[in-house]
Structure 1
Amino acid sequence: MTQPKAVPLFAEEFGTGTPLVLVHGFPLDRTIWGEVAKLLAADARVVLPDLRGFGRSPVTEGVYSMECLAEDLAALLDRLHIDKAILAGHSMGGYVSLAFARAFPERLAGLALVTSHAAADAPDRKEGRNRLAEEVENRGVEAVVEATLMRYSPYPEVLERTRALMLQANPQAVSAALRGMAMRPDLTGLLPSIHVPALVIGGEADELITLQRAQETARLLPQGELVVIPGGGHMVMWERPELVADALRRLVRRVNQGDQSG
């Protein structure tokens, strides 16, 4: 299967300094990072892209593999004249960030996985994603809302924000991303080879990525740090933006100190 060529992603920028790319999860867009980006604008050049098919980025045919989405990010960095960047990915954005780390290790200055992990889907999970993709193709994004929304956060107001954003997503992109996540490889074995400052942010009450999984992920990263957000669910950047921004700010400082010493 041939992958679609890189598409020009829509992106917003805040601040100046070390480039920090905040990659959104599924089936959301760059706006989930708005509050965190403003808190970090004094510390980094914060780039908020919309992944292919989401937000204001172009929708294309075919499956959106994580490798394909990573190539889009590399093309965006080229367009912004950024040689190396810290990537911080939420959920599916973490899968994309790991695919980027594997394909473009020389361009990775630091890595943050935010309520995300490196493992592939178990067979039943893979089957479930593909089945849900078919449902989306038949009856729209509401199928994803019904199947997944309640696991995104323990807070009703955050669930309402998440629902509203999900319902704005393009059904074709949602289906393409579901199929792309289902086919992603297990990158757990890649983690020990990622020799850059790294951060894993876990939500204490996350029903999608357990704390145990977050702990295992951080342990496998040579320079990994684990930050647990008290009471946080899957949408920690909306639930506790100050704590998420603080953790990412420390990661930026670690990267900058490493650059100075190296």
Structure 2
Amino acid sequence: MQKSITFKNANISFSDVGKGGVVVLIHGFLENSTMWDKIVPELCKRNRVIAIDLLGHGKSDCLGYIHTMDLFSETIEAVLKHLRLQKYILVGHSLGGYVALAFAQKNANKIKGLCLMNSTSNEDDEERKTLRLRAKTMVQKNFTNMVRMSFANLFGPNSKHKHQDEIDLALQEALKTPIQGYIAANEGMRIRPNRNYVLAGNDFKKLIIVGKNDPVLDYKMSLEEVKKTNSEMVIFSNGHMSHIENTEELIVVLKQFIQMC
């Protein structure tokens, strides 16, 4: 069952299930907390699992036209303060990883572990920034086609047929995202800073989950990032959507990471 708090007059929706050490799940761009539907039942057997809808996604409201990573992270902090939680493990997928890093920058003493799942502590390169500006224009002209096109490019070459049903369901959730939510998050990602130092400079457990055929994140750059930030690494053979393309393996990896923390 979804719960909610009010943050700066905006509704922030989240779920809270299980007992034990706290694991906070933060979804990616054009996703919401439903992306974790196959993950939460496994993790909550031994943990308290919080899954939060970011601003402009799922059942959470928008708050202006730029959702920076810092603003997103403030909503995470507000939920965790509301629940009176002091220590936790963060797992962020894609955009969720950027948000987790912004949160960790200010709350490192509260974090037992941070997992970047198909995500990075690097900033956008100039090519990616240009693509985001172009997407902002295109989405205002034809939101549905833009979302469908963007979504199709997230998967590894062998996944589209094998996981067609799950992909279709995830796409339907993506299409529920309001245009304002798309634009605000897209701009926030475009202007986010490099946060390599957040990983490199802290002693909490760090894991980066990489898709070897991720169309969004360059595999070789991910390898360099792991070395630069003294992080652990797990490599899956598919693309950007490990929760769909590698569900069972992901559950095993997350359980092991939680135990390590």
Residues 101-132 of structure 1 show CA distances to partners (whole Å, capped at 9, x for unaligned) of 11221222210000101111112211211221
TM-superposition CA deviations, 1:138-165 (whole Å, max 9, x none): 3324323224522334322144233222
Q: 2:171 aligns with which of 147, 150, 163?
A: 163
Counterpart CA distance in 2 for 1:67 and 1:238 is 28
| TM-score in terms of structure 2 length | 0.89
* Distance in 2 of aligned mates of 1:20 and 1:6: 26
Question: What is the 5 A alignment of 1:125-136?
Answer: 125-136=128-139
Partner SS, residue 112 of structure 1:
strand
C-alpha offsets along residues 204-237 of structure 1, whole Å, 9 cap, x if unaligned? 3212123323322332334x221112x3211111
> How far apart, in 1, do the equivalents of 2:11 and 2:249 lie?
32
Cα deviation 1:40-97 (Å, max 9, x = unaligned): 1112111111101100111222200011000100001011111121111000111101
Structure that is richer in strand per residue: 2
Provide Cα deviations, 1:227-255, integer angstroms capped at 9, x if missing partner. 112x3211111222221111111121111
Whichever residue aligns with residue 53 of structure 2, its letter is D
* Residue equivalent to 2:229: 221
The answer (yes or no) to whether the contact 2:147–2:175 under 8 Å persists in 1 is: no
CA contact (8 A) 1:89 1:114 kept: yes
Identity rate, percent: 28
Match of 1:52 in 2: 55
Q: Cα distance 1:41–1:187, how it changes in 2: closer, same or farther (>3 A)?
A: same
The 1:208–1:117 alpha-carbon spacing in structure 2 relative to 1, beyond 3 Å, is same
Letter paired with 2:209: I
In structure 1, give the amino acid aligned to 2:85. I
Structure 1's unaligned 5+ residue stretches are 256-262
Q: Would you say 1:87 and 2:94 are equivalent positions?
A: no
SS of residue paired to 1:152: coil
* Structure 2 CA distance for aligned equivalents of residues 188 and 6 of structure 1: 33
AA of the residue aligned to 2:252: D
Distance in 2 between the 1:106 and 1:209 partners?
A: 29
SS at match of 1:35: coil
Q: How many residues align?
A: 250
Cα pair 2:151 2:171 within 8 Å, conserved: no
Q: What does residue range 183-262 of structure 1 map to in structure 2 within 5 Å?
A: 183-222=191-230, 224-229=231-236, 231-255=237-261
Q: Is the 8 A contact 1:63 1:179 kept in 2?
A: yes
Question: Which range moves more in the overlay, 128-137 or 26-35?
Answer: 128-137
Question: Does the CA contact (< 8 Å) of 1:64 and 1:179 recur in 2?
Answer: yes
Structure 2, unmatched stretches of 5+, are 1-6
- 1:113 is paired with a residue of what secondary structure? strand
| RMSD of equivalent CA atoms | 1.8
